Structure 1
Amino acid sequence: MSYKLSVIIPVFNAEDYIKECLDSVVDQSLGIDNIEVIIVNDNSCDSTLDIISQYTDKYPSFKLISNKSNLGPGESRNMALKEVSSDYVTYLDADDFISQNAYEDALSKINEFNADLLIYNWETYTGSDYVEPINIHQQNTLENKLITDIKQNPKLFLSTAPWNKIYHRSLFKYLKFSKGFYEDNIVAILALINAKRIFLSKDSIYYYRKNSDSTTENITVDSSIHLSNSIKEIFDLRYEYPEFLNDLKLLNINFIYDILFWTYYYNWALADELKIINKLKSVIIPLKKEDIDRFKQLFPDKLSYEKDILDLDKYDAETFLAKYKYFNRLNKVNSQASLYVDTGKGFNESDKVAIDYSPLKKNNLEFSLENFGNISKLRFDPLEGSFIKCRITNNLPISDANCDNSVDDDYQIFTNLDPCYVLDADFSDISSIQINFDLEILTNNDIANLFRQKDNIINDLQVKPKKRKFSFFNKKE
């Protein structure tokens, strides 16, 4: 049978939403007999497959592909594209749905204007009366418009969603999704660059469900790593499409901003923050002030980290975090003290007791050791993510500390972001330990004075990265 449009729907554990999604396709004014629906069940383990079967049994135009293992939406879309029989394809996510006239109206405009790519409106669906603000990636189409030169419409480079678009067969070769959380960015960019006639339609609507369980709503350390990989993919396009470099920079400036915002906002472990910044530094190309200025001109309400972005390649990761996150107090200080327990395997995250507290000048914390045996050493971290001056005031056996002065001094000064003491004694007969300590968070002036004493002011650390973490107090290189 000949179909006017093919719709690819990757599905994984979508029992709560898949029926509304499929109903929105069945009810299309174009007629379900004209729509080839290719569903890829990505090894769901809930009742999703049972629901899908109700549709495949009823509608001949529905096709089902079942993955034997979970491959992710990108690979699932790639598999489905091989089964497409019509000249046009679009994507629909299993938790989203579309307006009733979406496909008929879109195909009508494609035929009228001889477009090989159509982009229609999308709205965020929250299931309530709350209206989500316009997203920077959201093409706010106020009028129907034909575009024959995308370089005259650079904002479109941020329209990276694959699902509010209909692609002609001539673009199928660019619809190769990569693995990872942000598998759609490169596909959208390649389609935009290679489309000859793009039509923006205000008359069709894709409803994007704001789902708290989705990858885009649950930001993790891995989110930053995967988005960094996407940044590299996008920058690498400059070799094949050098004339679009400035436009590729627009999209990646936005993604760099997102990663920095997440790193500033979330209180992740310092090691993870260092990993993110190092990864980001490894994938970006040098950006200039005029690149930032162009972005700000097009998106004046978005950017606030201009200097941070421009300085990414000037500092090692820890210096960058110190200068732009912790010096500026852009995040909430992670008010947590940790006690790492060495039971013969060294200090590791699995053998740790953490206590949330509000840091005061004088602090008294008690850590339970009931779950540990054969304790040889303890490591006490009074406060992660801040430069501090600290001293333990009860009589505990301090053998070492990663401070910049001596453990025998009245106070220990820590100008690293992960201050710690090592306690070395026989702890085999105790079920808990009380640690009393005085603590002060160093001010910017305090730190600046310390750096000046060593002729090593942080603002001058732009010539070459340090060889190891925060080596401000080492001899000059």
Structure 2
Amino acid sequence: MQGISVVIPFYCGNSYLETMAEQLKRNINNFKSDLKNVEVEVILVNDSPWSTIDESKLSAIKQSYKIVVNKKNSGIHQSRVNGINIASCDYILLLDQDDKISENYFESQYEKAMKENADLIIANGVRKIGDKKHPIFKNIRWHKDATTLAPYVAIGNVIASPGQCLIRKNAVPVFWLKNILSENCADDMYLWMLMLGEKKRIVINSEFLYTHVATGNNFSSDEKQTIRSERKVITLLVQSGLIEKKYLRYYKKRLDMREKFMFGIKSGILAKTYYCLCEIQKRMVLIYLRNTCKIK
């Protein structure tokens, strides 16, 4: 079926539903009024089965949604996979329950996908930190970099959230669907790297369609979880055989440096010095890898 399946993992998130439903309704109306023979389905995957989804808050999209309830708390990766497995449309949008997208997101991303015959379309967007907004990709070079392995290995996940991306359903790697990342956090990094390893057709959309809102969660705790999750990603990527070993060596070295900076150096002055050295090394690796990774 032509259109977009929106997969949203739900975790005790009733407070987000009304806002999410309203922005999806606006997108659906714009999408269907401008494009013919397209459909939208919204799949909510309840990963907190002890908490009932308040369907009264979904009235804006009452004809467009379905609910799947996990038998137990299964994590965000498994929840996304459960949603994808029942999706009917040819493209997938993986949203978080608190994500914000523009009113023309569906139309802009889907038209780009059709025009470019793309497997993955990466939109631009903004990071909102307090009252300030910063572009996710500051220039076209950084945006195009995201279509290669170089920045993911040298810098980290340059895509703020899967919500920036529209994904062709049949281009989602089987390895990602069958080998679940048990440590929450980096399943999106894992997905992008596998798609790059499988040489999927990845294009950019320069429109600012997505807003990433920084939360006030404990930074140190988040960093520890991120590092644990990414180390597991490396293990899975090795098993997949899709990524060259040299890229995984650079990836591991970057994580080692990050962990040492965050948790291994107690002196503030030494930590700042080490951070500067790490940033220089990361940029040097990026420059080197840019020359080995083809940018279309």
TM-score by length of 1: 0.48
- The C-alpha deviation readout for 1:326-363, integer Å capped at 9, x for no partner, is xxxxxxxxxxxxxxxxxxxxxxxxxxxxxxxxxxxxxx
Which residue among 45, 48, 53 is the counterpart of 1:49? 53
Which residue among 271, 278, 283 is the counterpart of 1:296? 283
CA distance in 2, matches of 1:225, 1:146: 28
Which residue among 105, 118, 124 is the counterpart of 1:121? 124
CA distance 1:251–1:23, change in 2 (3 Å): farther
- The C-alpha deviation readout for 1:125-172, integer Å capped at 9, x for no partner, is 34x42235x6xxx5445389889x955x72265446433221113312
Greater share of residues in helix = 2
1:112 equivalent in structure 2: 115
1:5 equivalent in structure 2: 4
CA distance in 1, matches of 2:233, 2:144: 29
Sequence identity percentage? 20
* 1:107 positional shift: 1.1
Name the stretch that deviates more: 70-79 or 258-267: 258-267
* 1:90 positional shift: 1.6
Note the residue ranges of structure 2 that are not aligned, 5 or more in a row. 268-278, 288-296
2:201 equivalent in structure 1: 197
1:184 equivalent in structure 2: 188
CA distance in 1, matches of 2:93, 2:5: 6
CA distance in 1, matches of 2:248, 2:124: 22
Say if 2:232 is the partner of 1:229. yes
1:97 equivalent in structure 2: 100
Say if 2:247 is the partner of 1:240. no
Which residue among 130, 134, 154 is the counterpart of 2:150? 154
CA distance in 1, matches of 2:88, 2:17: 23
CA distance 1:259–1:187, change in 2 (3 Å): same
CA distance in 2, matches of 1:17, 1:216: 23
SS of 2:163 mapped into structure 1: coil
1:63 equivalent in structure 2: 66
Contact 2:8 2:97 in 1 (8 A): yes
* 1:298 positional shift: 5.3
* 1:64 positional shift: 0.7
CA distance 1:57–1:109, change in 2 (3 Å): closer
* 1:122 positional shift: 3.1
CA distance in 2, matches of 1:130, 1:210: 11
* 1:98 positional shift: 0.7
Q: Which has the higher contact order (CA 8 A, sep 6+)?
A: 2
Paired amino acid for 1:155: P
Note the residue ranges of structure 1 that are not aligned, 5 or more in a row. 268-291, 301-477
CA distance 1:56–1:42, change in 2 (3 Å): farther
Contact 1:5 1:88 in 2 (8 A): yes
1:358-377 maps to which residues of 2 (within 5 A)? none
CA distance in 2, matches of 1:122, 1:228: 28
Bigger Rg over Cα: 1
Say if 2:175 is the partner of 1:172. no
